[in-house]
Amino acid sequence: MKLIQTFDYAELSQQAAEQIISRIKRKPSLNLGLATGSTPTGLYQELIKDHQQNKTSYKQINTFNLDEYIGIPKKDSHSYHYFMCEKLFKHIDIPLDQTHIPDGTARLLDEECTRYEQFIQEHGGIDLQILGIGQNGHIGFNEPGTSFDSRTHIIDLAESTRKANSRFFASVDDVPLQAITMGIASIMDSKEIFLLVSGHAKAEALARLINGDVSEDFPASVLKKHPNVSIFADKEATALL
């Protein structure tokens, strides 16, 4: 794992964006894995700014999101479908049918998991996956205890995750109990991974990732076994290293 330390969140977002743009220049049909949450929003703003100023094109890109809540309609402002449209897709030139997010409203959820997993593989796999990290070490919505062999699956959200994400909802009771997420093995199949870590609240998780053991109790630790991971972390996040 390569650690790229930045002064602050703005620099983290800029540096990650520059690296993504260079990958797109090298391969205009890049398969780009995307994440939701607060951490990547600065990065998405940088990609939008670059698209407007430098005309970087996403016409041949396919995107694959990590996860989606179960039972929240795509048009609902709490869905990750809505989030991605608002924060990125509607501001760049990507055809919407090349943006892929698991369907948390599918009637047959197990089949949706299989479909999404196969779909990514049929597209040749993910070239570059963007990840955030939960305070409990989750990646995607793979909570502690998830098997490193897992593929796209349904997960019961940890109470701590529901609490952390309640800031986007009226109350914690409104946060869904379950999500559909790419599995850990699905994430590890990505050719390259960028992990973004920002702020004091993530300092403990980053220290455990860097200094701790590889264990299913701390899902992000699996990244130590991946040959091509860059961690972009700001000063606050690296405070305990």
- CB-wise, 104 or 132, nearer to ligand PGA? 132
128/144 Cα distance (integer angstroms) = 24
Taking alpha carbons only, the member of 141, 217, 214, 213 closest to residue 184 is 141
- CB-wise, 98 or 197, nearer to ligand PGA? 197
Q: Is 11 helix (H, G, I), strand (E, B) or coil?
A: helix
- CB-wise, 56 or 220, nearer to ligand PGA? 220
Beta strands in 86-212 (DSSP E): 99-100, 128-131, 153-156, 178-181, 192-197
Q: What angle do CA 144, 38, 194 make, to 5 degrees?
A: 65
Catalytic choice (67, 112, 127, 234):
67
Active site residue 123: no
Of 37-45, 151-159, 174-182, 185-193, the segment contacting ligand PGA by CB under 6 A is 37-45
Which residues make beta-bridge pairs with 101? none
Q: Does 37 bind ligand PGA (CB under 6 A)?
A: yes
Contact between residue 153 and residue 117 where contact means Cβ atoms under 8 Å apart: no
213/20 Cα distance (integer angstroms) = 29
Please tell me the count of residues contacting ligand PGA according to CB under 6 A: 7
Active site residue 91: no
Q: Does 183 bind ligand PGA (CB under 6 A)?
A: no
Main-chain dihedrals φ then ψ at residue 172, nearest 5 degrees: -65, -30
185: which 2 tokens? 């093995």
- CB-wise, 33 or 132, nearer to ligand PGA? 132
Interface residues for ligand PGA in 197-236 (CB under 6 A)? none
Binding mask 117-156 for ligand PGA (x = CB under 6 A): ---------------xxx---x------------------
Q: How far is the CB of 127 from ligand PGA (least distance, A)?
A: 21
Active site residue 138: yes
Q: Is 187 helix (H, G, I), strand (E, B) or coil?
A: helix
Residues at the contact surface with ligand PGA, assessed by CB under 6 A: 37-39, 132-134, 138
Question: Which residues carry out catalysis?
Answer: 67, 136, 138, 143
